[in-house]
Amino acid sequence: MANHSYAILGTGAIGGFYGGKLQKAGFEVHFLLNRDYEYVKENGLIVESVDGDFTLEKVNAYNDVAQMPRCDVVMVALKTTQNHLLPQLLPPLLKKKSIIVLLQNGLGAEEAVAKFVKHQPILGGLCFVCSNKIGPGHIRHLDYGTITLAEYSPKGEAAGNTNNMRLVGADLEQAEISIIRHEDLLLARWKKLVWNVPYNGLSVVLNAKTNQIMANKHTRRLAEDLMQEVVAGAAACDRIITEEFVEKMLDHTEKMKPYITSMKLDYDRRNALEVEAIFGNPLHMAKLVGVDLPRMWMLYQQLKFLDVQNRG
């Protein structure tokens, strides 16, 4: 299968790590870069990883999709705040049977891509990974790494365990990337929000790490209240998330090492926050069926304010 070619849009913590592993495993990989283009074209990529460090002295680096070849698989590893660029970036890279994989947070990205990509399948790839870009072409992978793959279905129902998921999944496993195949993309994305909504949001608003949120009885309770609202939002989309899952997220976070969320890292770097993907889109989806999630709305409103102030 190593004959599949890969395009990686966005060569940061996510794209650099997973794209790097694919190239290391022998796949043909083409990396789109922005600020780091010159550096990476010259020097390649360094991946420091708990699974073993490696260096790619030479990579196919681009700063313009028009220069890139069409690929069998196109992986989008941009922040969702860049998704307004996808109608320009994606089409030049697509073959008739390319598979698109969105390695992104939150809800709504697959729907948005499906509006201008009519024929190619779209997968969601939910990354449970702790990885940072610490310099140009320099990735540090600290923990975890599993990608949950699920296929988008235009009618919103579960697509099942599809052939496209098997194709991409086999490649990823060949590159020593652990994967989980999920039959229902929407459920998988709502389940990830159970964690992302409280901790990403509160970490920014309260300037706090996960352990601080959990150590205070008021914010621990608030985190749980927010999780329950996410469960209610999922239920509004006919997706059932169990009490046990919520308990597991709370327990897991309590036992985890102190963690700075990705939204807090973006905030501290004065980058745009993924407020619409993680908050706005789920809120609108729930509202469409008449379900109000007041705490999540309030967190959305607070983050919209802080995001503007922070970059203003």
Residues that bind a copy of itself (CB under 8 A): 202, 205-208, 212-213, 216, 218-219, 221-222, 225, 294-295, 297-302, 304-306, 308-309
Please tell me the distance from the alpha carbon of residue 292 to that of residue 295, in angstroms, as a whole number.
9
Told to judge if 192 belongs to the known catalytic residues of this protein, a careful annotator would answer yes
Nearer to a copy of itself, 138 or 220 (CB): 220
Instruction: Give whichever of 148 and 196 is closer to a copy of itself, judged by the CB atom.
Output: 196
Nearer to a copy of itself, 152 or 300 (CB): 300
Minimum CB separation from a copy of itself for residue 217, in Å?
8
We find the least distance from the C-beta atom of residue 221 to a copy of itself, in angstroms, to be: 7
Other residues' Cβ atoms within 10 Å of the Cβ of residue 211 = 14
Q: How far is the CB of 286 from a copy of itself (least distance, A)?
A: 15
Q: How many CB atoms lie within 10 A of CB 78?
A: 23
Q: How far apart are CA 298 and CA 213, in angstroms?
A: 17
Number of helical (H) and strand (E) elements in the chain, helices listed first = 13, 10
Least distance in angstroms from the C-beta of 272 to a copy of itself: 15
Q: Which of 79, 192, 209, 264 is catalytic?
A: 192
Look at residue 178 and give its three-state secondary structure: coil
- The minimum distance between CB 108 and a copy of itself, in angstroms, equals 19
* For a copy of itself, the closer CB: 88 or 216: 216
**Residue (of 149, 141, 62, 134) closest to 102 by Cα position:** 149
Q: List phi, psi (to 5°) of 45.
A: -120, 140
For residues 210 and 199, give the distance between their C-alpha atoms in angstroms, rounded to a whole number: 7
State how far the Cα of 208 lies from the Cα of 86, in Å rounded to an integer. Answer: 33
For 121-225, where are the E strands, in sequence order? 122-135, 138-151, 179-181
Q: Give me the active site residues, please.
A: 192
